[in-house]
Chain A
Amino acid sequence: MTYTSYLFFFGFAVIVFMVYSLVPVKRRWIVLLVGSCLFYAVNSGFSIIYLAVTTLTSFFCAQKLTRIQDDFKAAKKELSKEEKKKLKDKVTKKKKLFAGAAIVFNLGILAFLKYYNFFAEQVTNVFGLFHLDFEMPLVRLLLPLGISYYTLQAIGYIVDTYRGKYKAEKNFAKLALFLSFFPQMTEGPIGRYDALMPQLYKGHTYSNENFTGGIILVLWGFFKKLVISDRISYIVGVVFSDYNDYSGLLIAISAICYTIQLYTDFSGCIDIMTGISKMFGIELAVNFRQPFFSRSVAEFWRRWHITLGTWFKDYVFYSVSLSEPFMKLSKTAAKHFNKFFASVIPSAVALFVVWFCTGIWHGASYKYVAYGLYYFLIILIGTLLEPVFAWLSEKTKANRKGKLWGTIAMLRTLVLVVIGMMMFRADSLMDFFRMFLRMITTFDFNEVSGGLVFTLGTDKHDFFIIAVGLIIMFVVDILKERGTDVLSKVAAGKIYIKWPVMIGLIMMIVVFGAYGKNYGAVDNIYAQF
């Protein structure tokens, strides 16, 4: 989505909000449901079928799972321990069948829409290698709005009812609202049923603090997107498409710029959506926690796109690593290796699965697979070398919790992340390798001192505004890191604090935003996944 779509989106949300406030509290959730369906239908028309199918299958599957579980609970009271175990195995098998079918079905839709064409191309290429004239037909597939996000929400819901975390939702309309809630449809965050549903269902009364807090978050999001992200996107586009024309320094700068662009774009969008939800009194899941203050790559991923990371942790990593074959694997490993490796091997395999999936979740391309594996390797190496680090720091008496080490660790993490971002943005995996090679082998300081850097679509004035924007963002983030949520404080504050901030943000966006005839509208990066 571009900023114009966001403006319309915000306008739409305000209308829904007004209707929401007028309807009796008990029925307010229905306004959200109707608004969400309307939003989806207007945006995607016929594609709403996909959403409906996913909602239907997860609704009935979860109901079945809860019924099997309840029956089991009722039956097991009269059974002996032996019989109980037998019945439990039978029940588990049955549950697995239903949950598995629903998950495979929904994942299948997502996978087909996302990966079919890529797969077909690869098949055609393989046949081409053997000089066989076979062409697997390509299909024009349109990815339905939000499918990468709501499918994960649905699967999380099914798995949780399978595990017995909560009982299945009895009201179809309520589940439909959970899966279609409009602020989450473009870029997430990926919500959890037990956290979100009670909030959606509960009718919230108007609260000044929620309303202003929401508006301030929305403005903050627009500030990130329009003042920083869209402005910096120009130099990124130029250098990444013609990287052969530029030397290492400029490539490195553009990779850093892209990292800034992606963060401000993605977290800005999430801020807008979180702000809109907050107006209604609904707290969406947190998706970013100042990720660039992370001391390790693993920590970065606990703070960046959090809802995706925790989703993979809870539903893939834990499922895989606690499954029977894996428990067996770890036992076999324990027999053959020392204790450290014995415990590392199974979790390493599970970790591989997670990162592979994280990679391809972003899209059908080798570079996304490589992107996932890149992080897998870094985290794995980090874990493997942990004993070495611990031993080293003990020997050298270095204080690993100290400030100096912390700063070094943060910078190291930043470098690794920027390289990952470069892979993420490059046109293809080969382009990334060539670009990376160029980055470390060529050096021309003149490009920066000679001013070439300011002629690539992002001029001196632009960089100045970006710098000011980054400083503001940095201060807000560092305060949040230290426990002060400036934006909420402002929202709860007195008028002479609240108004200048709001008016200041509006004026910054209006005057310094990268919008209008001199700028093309920039699509949100994470909306395409």
Chain B
Amino acid sequence: MDEILEILGEVKPGVNFEGETDLVESGILDSMTIIQLVARLTDEFDIEITPLDLVPENFNSVEAIKALVDRLAD
């Protein structure tokens, strides 16, 4: 969790991510930042994220991102 928050803070500084539930729809995470995020996540957790995973539901909150990472790490 903290690791993800740290990465989020790097790709998108100045945002308080905790508690946010519509990061994508509200435009905080646009496709550019999502790709940066994905690159970092892939590297950090050694997972493979495919285009199919790139839907708003997987990135709308820190919890959702965590769930995605956990699911792919299996």
Contact = CB atoms under 8 A, between A and B. Distances in A.
A383 interface: yes
A351 B39 contact: no
A322 B51 contact: yes
B51 A163 contact: yes
Max chain A C-beta neighbours (<10 A), residue from B30, B39, B52, B54? B39
Interface magnitude class on chain A: 20 to 34
Interface string B27-44: 100111001111110110
B19 interface: no
B52 A163 contact: yes
Contact of B51 (A302, A319, A339, A394): A319
B10 A317 contact: no
Contacts of A394: 14
A350 B31 CA distance: 11
A314 B42 contact: no
Interface string A386-405: 11001000100000000000
A340 B32 CA distance: 12
Contacts of B64: none
Nearest to A390: B14
Interface residues of B, number: 21
Contacts of B10: 339-340, 343
Interface centre among A313, A321, A343, A386, by most chain B C-beta atoms within 10 angstroms, is: A343
B49 interface: yes
B15 to A, nearest CB: 9
A346 B52 contact: no
B36 A347 contact: yes
Given A163-B50, A351-B32, A346 B39 contact: yes
A85 to B, nearest CB: 11
A163 B31 CA distance: 19
25 contacts: A163-B51, A164-B52, A313-B31, A317-B31, A318-B35, A318-B51, A319-B51, A321-B35, A322-B38, A322-B49, A322-B50, A322-B54, A330-B39, A330-B43, A340-B11, A343-B10, A343-B36, A343-B39, A343-B40, A344-B36, A346-B39, A347-B32, A347-B39, A351-B32, A386-B13
